[in-house]
């Protein structure tokens, strides 16, 4: 039976995700994420409320390999047609659950039947994005430069230093 029908809904948390836009024969990566939020303080200023994780609708399952062995637990992120905020980069995007109520409803398979939950699966405009360095093209790279905004059209010029030792 289908995991969706069985109520095997989950939420996949992430800082964000990447998509690549093809331009002039090259692919430019973009980091897509929830905008970070600020809260109003009583004194009239704003204070950073912390990182807001991206909440993507997913499905999970457990199955055994045909050749036997232990159960494998898997999940998948549901995708939808891209929102207007990012359809110029890619035609698909993860189904993003925007807000605590949407997350609660998606996970509450006992109270929210599949046909109601499916209404939560739609493109969202509540995202932010910016171009990032092509260092993200290597999955082994996991450092701040992977999400740091870059300015398009600006080429970094490398500098070569040559040292001569006196003998």
Chain segment 107-155, per-residue pLDDT in tens: 999 999 999 999 999 999 999 999 999 999 999 999 999 999 999 876 5
Question: Residue 115: helix, strand or coil by DSSP?
Answer: helix
Question: Residue 104: helix, strand or coil by DSSP?
Answer: helix
Domains of the chain with bracketed CATH:
9-146 (3.90.1680.10)
Whether this prediction's pTM lies above 0.85 is answered by no
**Cα–Cα dist 55/95, whole Å:** 9
Residue 36 has which token pair? Answer: 């970070």
Note the Cα 85 to chain centre separation in Å: 14
Strand partners, 130: 31
Name the band, by pLDDT with cuts 50, 70 and 90, for residue 35: confident
Residue 30 has which token pair? Answer: 């973009």
């Amino acid at each position: 039976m289908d995991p969706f029908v069985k109520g095997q809904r989950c939420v996949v948390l992430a800082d964000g995700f990447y998509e690549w836009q093809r331009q002039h024969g090259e692919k430019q990566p973009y980091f897509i994420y929830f905008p970070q939020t600020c809260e109003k303080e009583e004194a009239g200023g704003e204070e950073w409320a912390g990182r807001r994780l991206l909440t993507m609708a997913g499905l999970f399952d457990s199955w055994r390999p045909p050749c036997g062995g232990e159960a494998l637990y898997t999940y998948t992120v549901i995708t939808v047609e891209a929102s207007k905020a990012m359809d110029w980069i890619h035609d698909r995007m993860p189904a993003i659950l925007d807000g605590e109520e949407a997350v609660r409803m998606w996970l509450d398979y006992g109270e929210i039947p599949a046909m109601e939950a499916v209404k939560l699966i739609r493109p969202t405009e509540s995202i932010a994005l910016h171009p990032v360095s092509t260092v993200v093209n290597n999955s082994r790279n996991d450092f701040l430069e992977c999400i740091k905004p870059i300015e398009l059209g600006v080429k970094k010029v490398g500098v070569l230093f040559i040292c001569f030792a006196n003998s």
